[in-house]
Amino acid sequence: MTENRPNRRSFLKGAGAAVAASSLPLSLVELAFADPAQNFTFAYISDAHIQHIEGAKFVRNWDRGLLRAVAETNLLVPKPDFVMFGGDLAQLGAKAELDHGAEILARLKYKTRCVMGEHDYYLDLGEYWSKLFGEHHYSFDHKGVHFVVLNSVLTYDEWTYHRWPSAEVRMQEMAGLDNPNGSPFMVGEKQREWLRQDLEKVDKATPLVVFSHSPLQKIYKGWNFWTEDAEEVQALLAPFAKANVIYGHVHQIQYNQIGNISFNSVMATAWPWPYPQSYAQAQPHLPKLTVPMNRANPFFERDATGWQFIDVNTGRVALEYNLYNNTNRRVAFNPATGQPEDTVYQDPARRIAPQIHY
């Protein structure tokens, strides 16, 4: 019965990734599906940046990125158990943008949950977003895994409430990548206390997956690839034998391991951000494990964008990056080394040299 329907592997090939699919190390694939009863898959779409122009007009390119992710996610076989949207659904937090984004996400055939991004938040501090998507932070359990969603894009009260003449100005100031008027993201004391109480009830052997928008690790402050209280949040996750953090915001592939905590970023459907060291000549604080992407080609509008499906195997995550114009990537936790690895691109002989044209 399934012969005429695309399965996930053939779907990957159909998506123009025959090379990546056929070069996946077989042992990793077998490992991921070694115990199908315990394993499950969910999809992760992020950073759509739906941007309103006027009337019914929206920036076409960003719309198309999200539409394509939704359409492809709906084709997945086996079906993902649920879908996460990782934040920055809107560009400037406008109702029209959030409504339009929500309409596109509503086409997903699966239960969908959302993470707050700074582009969604700083116009009305998440008020309208809440009407569409609910709580800013929450937790849920699924097949023996405890999931937590955090709003990691909060910042100092003085910056949020007292500095700007209008909500629109505040939003504009936070929307710039390298704007010195921005302010560091943080989870904040109140939410950390909620997290502490939430995790108190969870057995420390239970696999834990935390979703945030900004990285819960410090990569580059100048662009807010950063969460100011990352160490305090990490301390709450540290007692768990298997803790995984999945974040958006950076629009590029990053992965890292700090103690028991694995970190994985997801791609944007809208556009890629460059690397701090290649664009701003900034000190490279990228996690040592990360192998930089080849930079985007502006002549391919979907270059260096995409979405991912995630295998949860005995409580660890393997991210399958479905990249529209590029060879797909897979970053999976390797129990033998205790860290996430990209077995294709981490081979030094096959690394792509950093480009300097930025």
**Which residues between 78 and 97 bind Fe ion (CB under 5 A)?**
88
Chain-centroid distance, C-alpha 97: 20
Q: Which of 17, 24, 47, 290 touches Fe ion by CB under 5 A?
A: 47
**Residue placing its CB nearer to Fe ion in the complex, 73 or 212:** 212
Q: How far is the CB of 333 from Fe ion (least distance, A)?
A: 25
Q: How far is the CB of 70 from Fe ion (least distance, A)?
A: 17
Q: How far is the CB of 205 from Fe ion (least distance, A)?
A: 33
**Residue placing its CB nearer to Fe ion in the complex, 271 or 345:** 271
* Options 4-12, 43-51, 199-207, 347-355: segment touching Fe ion (CB under 5 A): 43-51
Torsion angle of C-alpha atoms 6, 46, 223, 256, degrees rounded to 10: -60
**Residue placing its CB nearer to Fe ion in the complex, 118 or 303:** 118
**Residue placing its CB nearer to Fe ion in the complex, 212 or 256:** 212
Q: How far is the CB of 120 from Fe ion (least distance, A)?
A: 9
Spatial contact of 282 and 80, defined as CB atoms under 8 Å apart: no
**Residue placing its CB nearer to Fe ion in the complex, 21 or 174:** 174
**Residue placing its CB nearer to Fe ion in the complex, 48 or 318:** 48
* Options 41-49, 128-136, 176-184, 307-315: segment touching Fe ion (CB under 5 A): 41-49
* Interface characters, 103-132, with Fe ion (x: CB under 5 A): --------------xx--------------
Q: How far is the CB of 273 from Fe ion (least distance, A)?
A: 8
Q: How far is the CB of 145 from Fe ion (least distance, A)?
A: 25
**Residue placing its CB nearer to Fe ion in the complex, 49 or 146:** 49
Q: How far is the CB of 185 from Fe ion (least distance, A)?
A: 9
Burial class (CB in 10 A: 0-12, 13-18, 19+), 260: middle
- # chain residues binding Fe ion, by CB under 5 A: 5
**Which residues between 144 and 203 bind Fe ion (CB under 5 A)?**
none
**Residue placing its CB nearer to Fe ion in the complex, 174 or 344:** 174
Q: How far is the CB of 2 from Fe ion (least distance, A)?
A: 36
**Which residues between 204 and 263 bind Fe ion (CB under 5 A)?**
249
Spatial contact of 248 and 213, defined as CB atoms under 8 Å apart: yes
What residues line the site for Fe ion (CB under 5 A)?
47, 88, 117-118, 249
